[in-house]
Amino acid sequence: MWLDTLLFYFFALLTLTGGVLTVTRRNAVQSAVSLITALVGVAGLFLLQRAEFLFAVQIVLYVGGIMVLFLFVIMLVNLDEAARQRQFARQWWLALACVAAVVAEVVWFLQKGAGALRLPPAAPPPVPGPGNTETLADVLFSEYLLPFELASLLLLVAIVGSVIMAKKRI
Amino acid sequence: MLHPITTVHYLVLSVALLAIGTLGVLTRRNIVIILMSIELILNAVNINLIAFSRHFQHTTGQIFAIFVITVAVAEAAVGLGILIALFRNRQTVQADEIELLKW
């Protein structure tokens, strides 16, 4: 039990540190590497929550796919000029105030008392049955078949769109 | 000594990550980093979904997280494509220097 607690704090620290560094770094490559740290932390949290399939998806797709795409674009686009300029927009204090207000609201809601957040008691752990991936596939390919097919359509549109956007002359 | 981790812990973490990502979107000028902050926000949402999926022992949260990841991939691909087209035409990646629609 205490190992779970320790691992949670470790991965949470990894995620938050990576997130803060992503937002504050001047150099975009350093930002991207920090984002990889944050994404690995989130993957660890998925594993702690017994979502093994999403852990694998997070590592393969985010860290292996999206982040490589980001790094390629950083190398394609010349960011040296941008790194020398001002990094934050002029209305940063307004954004900070708005975000602080929202966070204070949510924390107040979570802290208000034991009865404020009425989560029903956690469901009992399931009896050992089919694994996480098998359960997910069962639900995804039966109950959520239409959204699944729509997602493939969305990806097709995204492929065509990004190729058209990045091409010099169509 | 150490408290066991509950669902509320994950919710608080998710709020913190959401705040960091929102701050990045609202304050940074570099479009690449704005896109990265959007990824942070989507990850905060995923943490939330997985936490509730675990809490209720229900698979739907994880299915939804898969769809969120799909949308994130599509968004990143199209967003970076737009960024390349923008850089080719305007030679800038600063969000507040792109002001054609500003009045």
| A33 falls within a domain | yes
Residue A9 sits in the same domain as residue A77: yes
pTM of the model: 0.89
Extract the tokens encoding A85.
Answer: 């300029």
Over residues A53-71, the pLDDT tens digits come to: 999 999 999 888 899 999 9
Range of the domain at A24: 1-85
Kindly give the interhelix angle for B31-55 and B7-27, rounded to the nearest 10 degrees: 170
Residue A127 banded pLDDT, cuts 50, 70, 90: low
**Helix or strand (DSSP H, E) at B43:** helix B31-55
Count of domains for chain B: 1
Over residues A131-163, the pLDDT tens digits come to: 888 888 988 999 999 999 999 999 999 999 999
Residue A64 sits in the same domain as residue A2: yes
| A110 falls within a domain | no
- A24-41 core/surface letters (b: 16 or more CB in 10 A; e: else): bbeebeebbbbbbbbbbb
- Please give the Cα distance from A77 to A88 (Å, whole number): 19
Q: Do B36 and A32 touch (CB under 8 A)?
A: yes
Averaged confidence pLDDT in chain B: 89
pLDDT tops 80 at residue A81: no
Structure confidence at residue A118 (pLDDT): 64
Distance from CA of B103 to the nearest CA of A (A): 18
Extract the tokens encoding A30.
Answer: 């350093």
| B36 falls within a domain | yes
| B15 falls within a domain | no
CATH number reported for the structural domain that contains residue B54 in this entry: 1.10.287.3510
Over residues B18-58, the pLDDT tens digits come to: 999 999 999 998 899 999 999 999 999 999 999 989 888 88
Extract the tokens encoding A146.
Answer: 């239409």
A positions 46-85 inside 8 Å of B (CB): 46, 48-51, 53-54, 57-58, 61-62, 65-66, 69-70, 73-74, 76-79, 81-82, 85
Q: Which of B22, B30, B40 sits opposite A28 (nearest CB)?
A: B30
Residues in B touching A22 (Cβ below 8 Å): 20, 24, 33, 36-37, 40
Q: Do B69 and A46 touch (CB under 8 A)?
A: no
Structure confidence at residue A91 (pLDDT): 86
**Reduced to 3 states, what is the DSSP secondary structure of residue A124?**
coil
Q: Does B88 touch chain A (CB under 8 A)?
A: yes
